[in-house]
Amino acid sequence: MFGQFDFGVITRNLPYLIKVGMAFTIELTILVIVLGIVFGTLLAMMRLSSIKVLSAFATAYINLMRSVPLVLVIFWFYFLVPYIGAWIIRSPTPVRVGAFLSSVITYSMFEAAYYAEIMRAGIQSIPRGQVWAGYALGLNYWQTMARIVLPQAFRNMVPILLTQTIVMFQDTSLVYVLSITDFLGAASKIAERDGRYVEMYIFAAVVYFVICVVISFLVRRLQRRIAIIR
């Protein structure tokens, strides 16, 4: 069945696929995990805040992001970021933003909405008495959050945060719509150049599959270990 196919095209282009493509995908994923969780936690805190304006803003933002497809959000930010940049540095013309920075901003802002909902559930899983105990000891809001609530919320939510991160890792492939060379972008460029669609796309699928299966296996193991401790 695979007689007419040339799988050598993969080994010949492996350095390009890994050093250019996979490097972009992994850098993007790691940056978005960090920024997404930071923004997501702040959004969750805003959503649970007793200040009405903050919680209304966070709720609206999270609902908006969650009801629009990622592809549309990618296009939104791709065109919006240059204008926001111009507004921040007061430049009369839209600022040129590189593909990498644009995707980091897009995915962080999008993923933050999803992380926020997970963190909100995590924060809400902490008994309210712990917050009162913190205040009773004289800690302020930020101290109570940083030292008591968030460390426990993170630990409760680690498996779900990681599952969401695997989904996000897969979704970074959608930068393809901006013709950016991530791992899939690199595979698809070679596929188009050499007319080797079958070989390159099967290879891309296998690589994503192996990475995601290994990580979700590790997540399940971690989940079991956390379950024993608690």
Partner 1 sequence: MNYHWNWKIFWDLTPEGSGTYLHTLLVGLLWTLATALAAWVIALVLGVIVGVIRTTPRKWAGRFCNGYVELFRNIPLLVQMFLWFFVIPELLPKHLGDAIKQMPPPWASYVPAVLCLGFFTSARVAEQVRAGIQALPRGQRMAGTALGLTLPQTYRHVILPMTFRIILPPLTSEFLNIIKNSSVALTIGVVELTAAARAMQEFSFQVFEAFTGATILYILTNILVIYGMRWVERRVAIPGFIGPAVQAGGH
Contact 114, 106 (CB under 8 A): no
**Of the candidates 133, 197, 220, 222, which one interacts with partner 1 according to CB under 8 A?**
197
26 lines the binding site for partner 1 (CB under 8 A): no
**Of the candidates 58, 184, 186, 190, which one interacts with partner 1 according to CB under 8 A?**
184
152 lines the binding site for partner 1 (CB under 8 A): no
Q: How many residues bind partner 1 (CB under 8 A)?
A: 44
d(CA 116, CA 68): 16
Stretch that binds partner 1, among 51-59, 148-156, 207-215, 220-228 (CB under 8 A): 207-215
d(CA 86, CA 84): 5
216 lines the binding site for partner 1 (CB under 8 A): yes
Q: Specify the amino acid at residue 176.
A: Y
Binding to partner 1 in span 72-91, by CB under 8 A = 72, 75-76, 79-80, 83, 86-87
33 lines the binding site for partner 1 (CB under 8 A): no
Contact 16, 188 (CB under 8 A): no
**Of the candidates 14, 137, 167, 218, which one interacts with partner 1 according to CB under 8 A?**
167
* Angle of helix 99-124 versus helix 150-171 axis, rounded to 10: 140
> Residue 199 is encoded by which pair of tokens?
């070989």
Give the CA angle between residues 130, 137, 124 to the nearest 5°. 20
CB hemisphere CA count around 157 (13 angstroms): 25
Nearer Cβ to partner 1 (121/139): 121
User: Comparing C-alpha atoms, which of 98, 101, 100, 107 is closest to residue 32?
Assistant: 107
**Of the candidates 38, 64, 101, 218, which one interacts with partner 1 according to CB under 8 A?**
64
| Interface with partner 1 (CB under 8 A) | 1, 64, 67-72, 75-76, 79-80, 83, 86-87, 92-93, 114, 160, 163-167, 170-171, 173-174, 176-177, 184, 188, 191, 197-198, 201-202, 204-205, 208-209, 212-213, 216
